[in-house]
Every structure is written in structure tokens, then in C-alpha cells.
Structure 1
Amino acid sequence: MSVRGIRGAITVDANEESPILEATIQLLNGILAVNHIIPEDICSVLVTVTQDLDATFPARAIRQMAGWELVPLMCSLEVPVKGSLEKCIRLMVLVNTEASQKDIRHVYLNGAQVLRPDLSGK
């Protein structure tokens, strides 16, 4: 078994609590579904947001999901590069898995598909 990183990103339309929490759950559920993993497989999750998203901590949404009470979560800010994608939530899910690196499926939703078009349709 190896530890693998699974990336994902999603954009929201507004800097408001509800859209941020809902998008975080949508993204995480997408990552879990396409990679066939459960919370027990997760080592930790790093959540980042762009500086224009400060209405809530996205990790709050994950913490409220069943089975995620003991999974280590951490929120951080993305590097504020001029011209970069706005209103974006990114996840780095570290998971214990038998899957090879090439079998890991990364998830990019909404406007975040522009970040990795090579992986968005995979």
C-alpha cells in the first residue's frame, strides 16, 4: 500500500458561506466516488482557497460529514499570483491505496477545469 495525493479544485460564484461549503462537499464527494475511497483510507486533507474566499472555512463542511470526525484537515491560502483563477477551492487528499499513480483520478469542476485541462476529462 502507498500514500497517494489526489488533487481537486472547484470554483464558486460568490464569497458566501453556503456556496463555499456546498462546493467543498461536491468536490470531495467527486474525488471519493471516482477513486473508490472511504474516509478510513484518508491520511489527511489540505484545503486551500484563493484570497477572495473568506466567508468561512471550507474544512467545516468536511468535518460535518459522517465518518470524517477523525480525519486531519487543514485550511490555507493559495499563493496570490496576479491573474490566477479567482474564487477557487482546492483539495489535496492524501490517501492510503493500492492504486498506482496512473490510476489516481483528479477532479476539476466548474471554472477550475482550466487549471488542469489534461486531467479534467480523465
Structure 2
Amino acid sequence: MIRGVRGAITIDQNSEEEIISATEELFVRLIEENHIQPDQVGSIFISTTDDVNAAFPAKALRKFEGWTYVPVMCMQEIPVPNSLKKCVRVMMHVNTNKPQEEIIHVYLKGATVLRPDLGSSLAK
């Protein structure tokens, strides 16, 4: 069964260092909390708001050993008026036997407002 594992994090400044660092933090939490191995992952979509463009957030994943061959695509979010700014979102497609309600979605920093009903104790 393929399940979507979602996460998001906000950044303070549109800089390569901050984008990569924040995205790395988000991936660490998603991977740890859901016990994900790279060979379980079919693909990953990463989106950013239009004010996050100083780097490709996918570069953060390349720092993780064993994740070289996981397909990753970056894209831009729809610029909805009054939506959360400076946000990086992740949708990881994972092969797992876990039921939907056992998947732990991770929302960090300002992104906790996106889905206050979801998330983990570790992420808070």
C-alpha cells in the first residue's frame, strides 16, 4: 500500500542555507517518526511558496545516505492570497503496511497552523 506522508516547515529568510537547513530538519523528523527507509519511498514532491526560491529544497535530501536514487521533484505552490508565507511542504509517497491513521505527519515552526489536527508529539 502506498501512503502519503506529509510535512511542512517555514523559514525566516529566503536564503539557500536556511532553505536547505529547514528542509533537512523536516526530512529528519518525517523519516524518524515514520521509520522510513529509502527503498520504501516511491517518490517525493516538495513545494514552496513563491517567496522561497533561493535554492532547490531537494538538495537537503541528498545529504542523507542511501537516498540518492529516490525520485524528488520541486514545484511552486498556488499563490493563494493571505496564505502562509515562506513555507516548504513535502509529500512523500511511502510503501507501508501501516493504516492511514498511523502515519505521522510533521508540521514545524509556522507551518503548525496548516494542520493543527495532525502532527506528532516530537514535532511540537
TM-score, length-normalised on structure 1?
0.96
Q: Find the counterpart in structure 1 of residue 98 from structure 2.
A: 99
Q: Find the counterpart in structure 1 of residue 67 from structure 2.
A: 68
* 1:114 has 2:109 as partner: no
> What's the Cα RMSD here?
1.0
CA distance in 2, matches of 1:19, 1:82: 24
Within 5 A, what are the aligned runs for 1:1-122?
2-121=1-120
Q: Deviations over 1:73-121 (max 9, x none)?
A: 0000000000000000000000000101011010000000000000135
- Give the 3-state SS of the residue equivalent to 1:5 in structure 2: strand
CA distance in 1, matches of 2:61, 2:85: 22
The one-letter code matched in structure 1 to 2:33 is V
The one-letter code matched in structure 2 to 1:55 is A
CA distance in 2, matches of 1:65, 1:43: 16
Structure 2 unaligned residues grouped into runs of 5+: none
Tell whether the 8 Å contact from 2:46 to 2:72 is kept in structure 1 after alignment.
yes
Q: How many residues align?
A: 121
TM-score, length-normalised on structure 2?
0.94
Deviation at 1:66, TM superposition (A): 1.1
Deviation at 1:38, TM superposition (A): 1.1
Deviates more, 1:87-96 or 1:59-68: 59-68
CA distance in 2, matches of 1:40, 1:101: 20
